[in-house]
Every structure is written in structure tokens, then in C-alpha cells.
Amino acid sequence: MDLQVIGRIHSPFTERFGTPRQACLGTAGDAADRVEGRVELFAHLVHPHALRDLDGFDRIWLLTWLHLNGSKWPNLVRPPRGGPRRGILATRAPHRPNPIGLSAVRVLGVEGTTIHVAGLDLIDGTPVLDVKPYVAYADAFPDASSGWVDEYGGPPIPKKL
């Protein structure tokens, strides 16, 4: 299997500590949603036409390679909310069998092969594997169970991102 890096993230975060744990799930204007950055797609791989109409979407999904994670991953992790250790695949921990990141970010604008975004939870230089539009009817399941996470509460998840 071959994956091709198609771009890089430009963000104010330069190390893992201090970087938000999740892309912003709040509404525009929330503190976490104000973190702005850029998705710089490589012009030799991605033609500007590939981004046509992307600026009409409020949000996009970024599929990234979490390049700073080591090659070892634990079977069990302790989530930030505390409680018992959980299976790595039942958490959103970044140390995974394949360090693929999934972030929903707000689109501020598109210029050529650059996407200006807000709500970043990624470190500067993170490799980008793909970009997909967030489509509410296909990507949101407001009545879905969140397993053990429901027991611990947390920020309310909006019905629409």
C-alpha cells in the first residue's frame, strides 16, 4: 500500500504538549475554534482545480499522518478524563497502529492550493494525506452512542458542526 503526502499543516503549535487534543467541535467564535492555520497542498501534486468549490463548505475533514508518534503503540491507554484503562481502538489517542489523524476544521478561505482554516489541533509541519468536505447528512450522527465516553460527560457535541 502506498500513501502519498499531498501537503503540510502550518499551525502555531510546534510541539505536542499544548496542542489541543481534539479539533474544535464548537461553534465559530469558541476559544478553540479561533486557532487559525493553513493547509498548504503541494502544487506539483494538487492542481488548484482540485480545490474548486471547497470554499462553499463550512468545514472539512483533514486526514493527516501523526509523524511525531513513535512506532510503538499500547494496547491500553488511560484517557484524559480519567477512569480505567481503555483499549487503544476504543479511544481517540494519537498513538495508534497507523498514526492517521482525523480533524474537522472550519474553512476560512481557499487561495490556489492553500486552505485557510480555524480550529486546528495539529502540529506545524504535520503531513496531510487527504482533504474531504464535511457533509452534515453523512458525517453527523447526533443520536449515536459514544460508548464509555458517555459515562464521563464532556463538552456537549453540537448536532451540526
Return the exposure string of 10-34: e unless at least 16 CB atoms fall within 10 Å of the residue's CB, then b. bbebeeeeebeeebbbbeeeeebbe
More confident residue, 90 or 107: 107
Coil, helix or strand at residue 78: coil
Taking 90 as the threshold, does the pLDDT of residue 49 lie above it? yes
pTM of this prediction exceeds 0.85: no
Q: Is there a domain that residue 49 lies in? A: yes
Residue with cell 482533504: 131
* Of 21, 9, 135, nearest in space to 62 by CA: 9
Least confident of 16-25, 51-60, 123-132, 145-154: 16-25
The mean predicted confidence, pLDDT, of the chain is 85
- Residue 117: enclosing H or E segment and its boundaries? strand 114-118
CATH number at residue 65: 2.40.30.70
Q: By three-state DSSP, how is residue 95 classified?
A: coil
Structural domain boundaries, residue 95: 7-135
Q: How far apart are CA 151 and CA 139, in angstroms?
A: 23
In a domain, 160, yes or no: no
In this predicted structure, the answer to whether residue 132 has a pLDDT above a threshold of 70 is yes
How does pLDDT run across 62-105, given as a tens digit for each residue?
999 988 877 788 889 888 767 899 898 888 777 888 889 999 99
pLDDT tens-place string over residues 31-44: 556 789 999 999 99
**Does some domain include residue 158?**
no
Query: Is residue 156 assigned to a domain?
Result: no
Phi, psi of 77 (to 5 degrees): -135, 160
Nearest to 17 by CA among 123, 114, 126, 110: 123
Q: Looking at residue 158, what is its pLDDT?
A: 47
Report which of residues 80 and 141 the model is more confident about.
141
How many domains does one find in the chain?
1
